[in-house]
Amino acid sequence: MLNKGVKEFDRNLREEELLSSSVEAAKIKLTTGSSSLHKAIFTKPTSETATYFAEKTRGLINAKSFSLVHGQGKNVDIVKDVINLLPIHWICHIVSGQKPWGSLP
């Protein structure tokens, strides 16, 4: 029984250390800058980036749109649910190391 507890403690400690090192790596990347992030923000957009923004915009509009009580047509809070979220999604893809034209939405 004691051996099982020690093994579980060791496993939890390793998981915590792994999480801690991952968090530290992310902090360093965010605070010291990332060449891929800098490049993505300060270079001329490519057609792939434009395609990402177009498709992601469509995806967010579809995902966030809703019908009112009578159900005629759909509505979306374009600023809250699309314009404010779109750059956040894009930056998250860049920071995570994924290409911004990856899986949508």
Of 54-58, 83-87, 92-96, which range is least confident? Answer: 92-96
Of 31-35, 74-78, 81-85, which range is least confident? Answer: 31-35
pLDDT-derived band of residue 61, with 50, 70 and 90 as boundaries?
very high
Helices 2-32 and 86-95 pack at an angle, to 10 degrees, of 110
Rounded to 5 degrees, φ, ψ at 75 are -125, 155
The model's pTM is 0.55
Measured CA distances, 49 to 1, 29, 87 (Å)? 56, 22, 12
Of 12-21, 25-34, 47-56, 61-70, which range is least confident? Answer: 25-34
18 vs 105: CA distance, rounded Å: 29
Q: For the chain, what are the domain ranges?
A: 1-32, 33-105
pLDDT-derived band of residue 63, with 50, 70 and 90 as boundaries?
very high
The average confidence (pLDDT) of the chain is 77
Residue 104 pLDDT greater than 50, yes or no: no
pLDDT-derived band of residue 105, with 50, 70 and 90 as boundaries?
very low
